[in-house]
Amino acid sequence: MAKFFALAAVACLAGPTLLQVILGALDLFFRGENVSLASAYRVAGDFTWMQPVAFFTMISISVIFVYFANRASSGKTSNLVSLKSIFEGFQFGNSYVYCYLGDISHITEAQVIVTSEDTSLDLGSISGTSVSGRVRRLAAEVNECGEVQVDHLQNYVLEWKARVGKYDNFDLGHTVFIHEAFCAERCNIQAITLAVAIRKRPQGGVEFDDGAIHRIIGGAIQNALASGYRSIFLPVFGLGSGGIPSERAVTITVQSVCNVLRTENRRIMVYLGVYREEDLADLMIALNSQAGRR
């Protein structure tokens, strides 16, 4: 869309001058005068009516561009599923993997929740739609009007950073296992794991490392089992603000989960979460494919 707009702009701005010169050359030709670039350019000045036409054409194209850009932008969020649905389980080893579609705020099935963070370990907006932001709100103390009174998870992270003496640039794959869920306990959540899954580049885009995702998932599941928990929620890492194509993000997450569960004798229920129906389709295809490799 942006490339089309740029080409249209160039055409509208440069096009009139070129057409004026062509019309000037034709005018000279039909009058029987000598035709040259200089003379055609001189005569082209008579066709000034083309400039306002070009201006209003440019305005029209700009309006159309803004309309379709807004439509495309809203289309990316319009299909977010706000409730929740849980789909059939796939068995790997002694464990099961379920597909979780919808808002993590409604979960009651998982004892451990894993969030996706960037290398600054700055939690998502408490009013946002990311898993990080919504878990942050679940953990917060709110009043009867829904206003946050105590931001427990944010306070914990700030205190933890001060305790370890590090505030930024955490390694991809690093996890912080928190042995309490604060107010999220009302959803049966017992522990929260913050996982450093992406690194935002200064020039835009993100760094996403397959090995880091493997380490996050392996560490999160092992920590949960070692602490006596038997259920865990994992987001498909890289979706949302990560901007990673769904097929790649889903494939890496599913492969990592299945590889861990196939070698684990203890039983755990894993809930893999997505927000969009099209991502759910990719998730179920990937799990079916892995289930066929028994």
Domain boundary residue, one of 77, 106, 131: 77
Same-domain pairing of 136 and 272: yes
Same-domain pairing of 24 and 94: no
Same-domain pairing of 174 and 64: no
Look at phi and psi of residue 180 and say left if phi exceeds 0, alpha if psi is from -120 to 50, else beta.
beta
The whole domain housing 216 covers 81-291
**Residue 168's pLDDT band (boundaries 50, 70, 90)?**
very high
| Beta bridge partners of residue 273, listed in sequence order | 100, 235
Secondary structure of the chain in the HEC alphabet? CHHHHHHHHHHHHHHHHHHHHHHHHHHHHHCCCCCCHHHHHHHHCCCCCHHHHHHHHHHHHHHHHHHHHHHHHHHHHHCECCCEEEEEEEEECCEEEEEEEECHHHCCCCCEEEEEEECCCCCCCCCCCCHHHHHHHHHCEECCCCCEEECHHHHHHHHHHHHHCCCCCCCCCCEEEECCCHHHHHHCCCEEEEEEEEEECCCCCEECCHHHHHHHHHHHHHHHHHCCCCEEEEECCCCHHHCCCHHHHHHHHHHHHHHHHHCCCCCCEEEEEECEHHHHHHHHHHHHHHHCCC
Same-domain pairing of 144 and 68: no
Same-domain pairing of 125 and 260: yes
Same-domain pairing of 106 and 196: yes
Same-domain pairing of 31 and 102: no
| Residue environment code for 182-201, b if the CB has 16+ CB neighbours within 10 A, otherwise e | bbbeebebbbbbbbbbbbee
Q: Is 274 exposed, middle or buried (0-12, 13-18, 19+ CB in 10 A)?
A: buried
88-145 tens-digit pLDDT: 899 999 999 999 999 999 999 999 999 999 999 999 999 999 999 999 999 999 999 9
225-258 tens-digit pLDDT: 999 999 999 999 999 878 899 999 999 999 999 9
Same-domain pairing of 87 and 202: yes
Which pTM does this prediction carry?
0.74
Same-domain pairing of 166 and 221: yes
Same-domain pairing of 184 and 52: no
| Structural domain count of the chain | 2
181-237 tens-digit pLDDT: 999 999 999 999 999 999 999 888 899 999 999 999 999 999 999 999 999 999 999
**Per-residue model confidence (pLDDT) at position 69:** 46
Same-domain pairing of 221 and 178: yes
Domain boundary residue, one of 59, 77, 95: 77
**Per-residue model confidence (pLDDT) at position 94:** 96
**Residue 36's pLDDT band (boundaries 50, 70, 90)?**
confident
**What is the CATH number for 217?**
3.40.220.10
Cα→Cα distances 256→4, 70, 129, 208, 285, Å: 40, 36, 25, 14, 15
Domain boundary residue, one of 77, 105, 129: 77
**Considering only CA atoms, which of 220, 222, 216 is closest in space to residue 263?**
222
**Helix axis angle, 210-226 to 246-262, nearest 10°:** 40
Instruction: Report the alpha-carbon distance of residue 30 to residue 27 in Å, rounded.
Output: 5
Same-domain pairing of 67 and 123: no
pLDDT above 70: percentage of residues in the chain: 76
Q: What are phi and psi of 263, to 5 degrees?
A: -105, 5
**Per-residue model confidence (pLDDT) at position 71:** 45
**Helix axis angle, 246-262 to 277-291, nearest 10°:** 40
